[in-house]
């Protein structure tokens, strides 16, 4: 499990943007992931890590090339770890639609065939990938986690359910109530079956309600108001309403004119990295 192979590397802002591959035991396939190592990494002191989870149709390369995160990560001394969004390969089940199958893993553990052999992205993100990172890189014990859209859903669910592992969680335009939106209903019914009670463990709104009183992880969420999916997929707002209901002091910000794209992410990624740095270094 600890064997990784470096595929590529390029120097940027004094650090190194690398890509690796390995054989995943959680996903039963070969996986790629990207890591940005800031200049501080060469000082041989444990460095804080931010895991970034991307959205539908993305690979590990979208955030690397479009978010512009390396400049601030270099300044703050944060390692960025960017996994793929699903298992990949000829043997991995797929679908012609963009919102199911490869590129659409939804960061859950599938229980229904044919998806159940490979689609265990929850275990991969929570257990296998952090183990690889800790084995192969000099990092601190706790990490931060963030994501966009489907990846925002993954970051929120994983952060809320595993608070002992993460210092903080943030999201851009996240799917916060997948049990009640079209993207989530389609994915969950295929991956998890028709028993909707099994869906709730992967729904940030349900987790927030279930864990009220024991939530301590700091949370930041940004949402563009020109996002085509804001209303149709019920992004962000239901979670803000649930936070108010349970008295959880998460930070929400809404931005006029911004859409669902990486132009939005790149506009506010600095604030998210500084937010996480505050807790990674506390």
Q: Give the catalytic positions in this structure.
A: 149, 227, 260
Question: Is 183 within 8 Å of 191 (Cβ atoms)?
Answer: no
b/e string for 153-167 if b means 16 or more Cβ within 10 A?
A: bbbbbbbbbbeebbb
Q: Centre a 10 Å sphere on the Cβ of residue 50 and count the other Cβ atoms it contains.
A: 26
Question: What is the distance between the alpha carbons of residues 29 and 59, in angstroms, rounded to a whole number?
Answer: 15
Question: Is 54 within 8 Å of 107 (Cβ atoms)?
Answer: no
Question: What is the distance between the alpha carbons of residues 49 and 91, in angstroms, rounded to a whole number?
Answer: 32
Residue 218, SS3 per DSSP: coil
262: left (phi over 0), alpha (psi -120 to 50) or beta: alpha
Identify the H or E element spanning 131: helix 129-136
In Å, how far from its chain's centre is CA 48? 16
Question: Is 265 within 8 Å of 148 (Cβ atoms)?
Answer: yes
Residues paired with 101 in a beta bridge: 104
């Amino acid at each position: 499990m600890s064997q990784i192979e470096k595929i590529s590397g390029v120097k940027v802002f004094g650090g190194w943007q690398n890509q690796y591959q390995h054989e995943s035991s959680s996903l039963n396939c070969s996986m790629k992931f990207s890591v940005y190592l800031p200049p501080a990494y060469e000082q041989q002191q444990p460095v804080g890590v931010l895991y970034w989870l991307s959205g539908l149709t993305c690979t590990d390369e979208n955030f690397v090339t479009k978010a512009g995160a390396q400049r601030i990560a270099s300044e703050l001394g944060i390692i960025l770890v960017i996994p793929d969004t699903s298992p990949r390969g000829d043997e991995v089940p797929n679908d012609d639609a963009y919102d199911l199958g490869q590129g659409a893993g939804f960061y859950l553990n599938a229980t229904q065939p044919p998806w159940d052999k490979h689609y265990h992205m929850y275990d991969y993100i929570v257990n296998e990938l952090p183990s690889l990172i800790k084995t192969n890189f000099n990092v601190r014990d706790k990490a931060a986690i963030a994501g966009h859209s489907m990846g925002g859903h993954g970051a929120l669910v994983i952060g809320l359910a595993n608070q002992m592992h993460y210092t903080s969680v943030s999201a851009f335009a996240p799917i916060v109530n997948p049990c009640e939106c079209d993207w989530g209903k389609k994915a969950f019914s295929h991956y998890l079956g028709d028993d909707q009670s099994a869906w709730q463990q992967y729904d940030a709104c349900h987790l927030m309600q279930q864990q009220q009183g024991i939530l301590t992880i700091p949370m930041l969420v940004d949402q563009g108001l020109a996002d085509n999916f804001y209303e149709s997929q019920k992004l962000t707002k239901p979670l803000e309403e649930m936070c108010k209901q349970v008295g959880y002091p998460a930070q929400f910000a809404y931005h006029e004119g911004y859409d669902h794209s990486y132009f939005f992410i790149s506009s506010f990624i600095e604030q998210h990295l500084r937010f996480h740095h505050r807790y990674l270094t506390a």
